[in-house]
Amino acid sequence: MKKRTLNRLEVSAIGYGCMGLSMGYGSAPAPQEAIQLIRRAFELGCTFFDTAEIYAMGANERLVGEALQPLRNQVAIATKFLLQKDWEGHSRERLMQALRNRLEASLKRLGTDHVELYYQHRVNKDIPVEDIAYCMGEFIQEGKILGWGQSQATVEEIRRAHAITPLTAIQSEYSMMERKFEPDVIPVCEALGIGFVPFSPLANGFLSGQVKPEAEYTGMDARRVITRFDKDNIVANQPLLDLLHQVAADKQATPAQISLAWMLHKKPFIVPIPGSRKMHRMEENFGAAAVVLTDAEYADIERALAQIEIHGNRTDEDIARLRTLQ
């Protein structure tokens, strides 16, 4: 697979979001099956694997660490920390200790002495981004992390943090169905030399073209609360799926591959991290790296997308609501 650069970190053009191997979309695969999927991703050219401390309360980090242990020197691991409680008024020293404890716990679960990329999972409005950036700079100097990033950050947060310790990447939701970061965040990443890593690049699987209005989701499956999966919205979004199927047929590809190829064509510093729990879907996703759109094909897709209204979305608030459902 071709390589791309997030700031100075070289990774495969498409990474692997590993969350779904432990949580998020109903029953997770058995651990050994999940390990096989991760190792198969590497065989297909993926060298960039994404996890977080909160995914299945650390179990996902342990899974990723075990799967990548034989490959550790050939891959880049990204994980994330989340500070949710009220931190207003606390000292930088206390923040440093809290972050150090979290980082050490993640490294232990991953079975490694460093990670290539360490994200702030969501920007906490009670903590100055400059203080987070300072701590990340200390960890970089110590060799505990090679780079750092933010998730769902604003342009102002990016600029302020980057001025203290240069950011490696911004990881935020981005797909044909969620383009709110195109006007400002992606351009500022380009201007500052920061990578952009889209999570949910296939809109939680919607852009695979396989979603049916009659589908039922149960248990701890995020699609129960992501409004693009409401039956009426599935029907209303059919024009987007029709476009993907048409382009896919012309390119002898799949709708998912066209969705990812469109994203890869947009900017050379964009590295999507689709996740899949099925081998054939994973192989399909990584195959998108070989689907090359011409400038004319890309322009045609952009013109068509501009005429399509998107119905439904995904929000952190909706995801949090999943825990209250029976």
- 16, 25, 55, 118: the catalytic one is 55
Mention every residue, 6+ apart, whose C-beta is less than 8 A from residue 68: 38, 42, 49, 75, 77
16 is catalytic: no
Q: What SS3 class is residue 230?
A: coil
Q: Hunting for tokens 């999507």 — which residue is that?
A: 272
- In terms of Cα–Cα distance, which of 279, 284, 275, 206 is closest to 252? 284
CA pair distance 282, 46, nearest whole angstrom: 11
CA pair distance 14, 276, nearest whole angstrom: 13
DSSP classification of residue 175:
B
CA pair distance 131, 163, nearest whole angstrom: 12
- In terms of Cα–Cα distance, which of 11, 6, 166 is closest to 77? 11
Residues assigned a catalytic role: 55
